[in-house]
Structure 1
Amino acid sequence: MTQNFDAIIIGAGQAGPSLAGRLTSAGMKVALIERKLFGGTCVNTGCMPTKTLVASAYAAHVARRAADYGVITNSPIGIDMKRVQARAAEVTLNARTGLENWLRSMDGCTVIEGHARFESAHTVRVGEQSLSAPRIFINVGGRANVPNLPGVKDVPFLTNTSILQIDFVPKHLVVVGGSYIGLEFAQMFRRFGSQVTVVEQSERLIGREDEDVSLAIASIFENEGIALRTHAECISLAPHAEGVEVHVSCQQGAPTVVGTHVLLAVGRAPNTHDLNLDRAGIEVDARGYIKVDEQLQTNVAGVFALGDCNGRGAFTHTSYNDFEIVAANLLDGEARRVSQRILAYALYIDPPLGRVGLTEKQARASGKSLLIGTRPMSKVGRAIEKGETQGFMKVIVDADSKRILGASILGVGGDEAIHGVIDVMNADVPYTRLQQAVPIHPTVSELIPTVLGDLQPAR
Structure 2
Amino acid sequence: MVSQIEVAPFDKHNQILVSNAHPPDWQNPTPDGPYNLLVIGGGSAGLVAAVGAAGVGAKVALVEKHLLGGDCLNVGCVPSKTILRSAKAVGDIRHAAGVGVNLPGDPTVDFAAVMERMRRIRADISYHDSAQRFRDAGIDMYLGTGRFTGRHTFEVDGRTIEFRKAVIATGSRAANIPIPGLKEAGYITNEGVFELTERPARLAIIGAGPIGLEMAQAFARFGSEVTVFDIMPVMGGLRDPEGIALVREALEADGIQFYLESQTQNVARQGDGKVITFTHAGETKIVTVDQILLA
Q: TM-score, normalised by structure 2?
A: 0.83
- What residue is the counterpart of 2:51 in the other structure? 21
What is the alpha-carbon distance in structure 2 between the residues aligned to residue 186 and residue 21 of structure 1? 36
Tell me how far 1:70 sits from its aligned partner.
2.5
1:154-182 alpha-carbon deviations (Å, 9 max, x no partner): 11111111001112221110111111111
- What residue is the counterpart of 1:172 in the other structure? 202
Tell me how far 1:32 sits from its aligned partner.
1.0
What is the alpha-carbon distance in structure 1 between the residues aligned to residue 57 and residue 114 of structure 2? 44
Whether 2:84 is the aligned partner of 1:47: answer: no
State the secondary structure of the residue aligned to 1:134: strand
Query: Which structure is larger by alpha-carbon Rg, 1 or 2?
Result: 1
1:252-308 alpha-carbon deviations (Å, 9 max, x no partner): 67611111111111xxxxxxxxxxxxxxxxxxxxxxxxxxxxxxxxxxxxxxxxxxx
Whether 2:224 is the aligned partner of 1:201: answer: no
Q: 2:175 aligns with which of 132, 145, 170?
A: 145
1:190-214 alpha-carbon deviations (Å, 9 max, x no partner): 0111010001112232345334432
Corresponding letter in the other structure for 2:187: F
Unaligned runs of 5+ in 1: 266-459
- What residue is the counterpart of 1:191 in the other structure? 221
Q: Is contact 1:199–1:248 with CA below 8 Å preserved after alignment?
A: no
- What residue is the counterpart of 2:193 in the other structure? 163
Q: 2:256 aligns with which of 204, 222, 226?
A: 226
What is the alpha-carbon distance in structure 1 between the residues aligned to residue 52 and residue 230 of structure 2? 43
Tell me how far 1:31 sits from its aligned partner.
0.9
What is the alpha-carbon distance in structure 1 between the residues aligned to residue 154 and residue 290 of structure 2? 45
Q: 1:106 aligns with which of 134, 137, 161?
A: 137
Q: Is contact 1:10–1:33 with CA below 8 Å preserved after alignment?
A: yes
Q: Following superposition of structure 1 onto structure 2, how do residues 204-353 of structure 1 map, counting pairs within 5 Å?
A: 204-207=234-237, 209-251=239-281, 255-265=285-295
Q: Is contact 2:205–2:227 with CA below 8 Å preserved after alignment?
A: yes
Work out the number of aligned pairs and report it: 264
Q: Is contact 2:179–2:265 with CA below 8 Å preserved after alignment?
A: yes
Corresponding letter in the other structure for 2:275: E
1:1-55 alpha-carbon deviations (Å, 9 max, x no partner): 9752221111111122232223223322211111111111111111111011111
Corresponding letter in the other structure for 1:189: F
State the secondary structure of the residue aligned to 2:173: strand
Q: Alignment identity in percent?
A: 29
Unaligned runs of 5+ in 2: 1-29
Whether 2:56 is the aligned partner of 1:33: answer: no
1:386-429 alpha-carbon deviations (Å, 9 max, x no partner): xxxxxxxxxxxxxxxxxxxxxxxxxxxxxxxxxxxxxxxxxxxx
Q: TM-score, normalised by structure 1?
A: 0.55
Larger RCO, structure (CA 8 Å, separation 6 or more): 2
Q: Is contact 1:37–1:96 with CA below 8 Å preserved after alignment?
A: no
Q: Is contact 2:39–2:168 with CA below 8 Å preserved after alignment?
A: yes
